[in-house]
Amino acid sequence: FTQQLAKDSQDYCLAMVEPLFQAVMNLRDCAGDPVELNGEVMNQADWLKKAASTTNKQASANFYFVRLYLAVMFGKYEVAAEMALNRQKGQRMRNLTIVTETFYSSLTAIAIARSKGHNRLSHSVKKSISKLENWSKYSEWNFLHKLELLKAEQAFFNGFIGEAAKAYDRAIYFATANGFIHEQALA
């Protein structure tokens, strides 16, 4: 598929697809660091050099988002935080991706706050929960499990274990009911 895109000079589409395709390859065969987009499809250093010489800022935003997603999945929250910062410097993501990026960036912020022994969550996490509450009103099936997982993480961080357990259960229930098995596993 990527060879056909390259042959047909579909550079924009190719730049958008390569990071996703390499991420899938990383998930299938975890040889090396699964968060690094290096392998059969692409080499991330070469890809970034090429992307810097184009006007396709959406592809760079997509690249950092894909790495953010992988970093959270594999518990590499320092890398996830770096990817979130790099992503914020670039172009704004598209609607559905904004929600997912908000979710994974918030999970990252909570994990880093926990690992560094902070006693308060950042304002951005509270703001993200507020955004997800709003988005959930319009597309409950798509976002409610994300909201419940963030609420669970926030409650756990603040020491409200019973409340956290209930929110984790709700997150698992809504993720399962709506087919988000990857986020069911996170919960």
What is the structure's pLDDT at 176?
Answer: 92
Structure tokens at 65: 């988002």
Task: Please check whether residues 59 and 143 belong to one and the same domain.
Answer: no
Q: Which domain holds residue 12?
A: 1-93
Residue 8 and residue 58 in one domain: yes
What residue type is assigned to position 16 of the chain?
M
Q: How many residues does the chain have?
A: 187
Distances in Å between the alpha carbon of 82 and those of 12, 28, 140?
A: 25, 24, 30
Asked if 77 and 126 sit in the same domain, the reply is: no
pTM tops 0.85: no
Which residue, 93, 116, 132, sits at the end of a domain? 93
Per the structure, the count of domains in the chain is 2
Q: What pLDDT does residue 187 have?
A: 72
Q: What is the pLDDT of residues 90-136, one digit of tens each?
A: 655 555 578 888 888 899 999 999 888 888 877 888 898 998 998 88
Given 93, 128, 162, which residue is the final one in a domain?
A: 93
Max intra-chain CA distance, the chain: 56
pLDDT reading at 63 higher than 80: yes
State the Cα–Cα distance between residues 74 and 86, nearest whole angstrom.
19
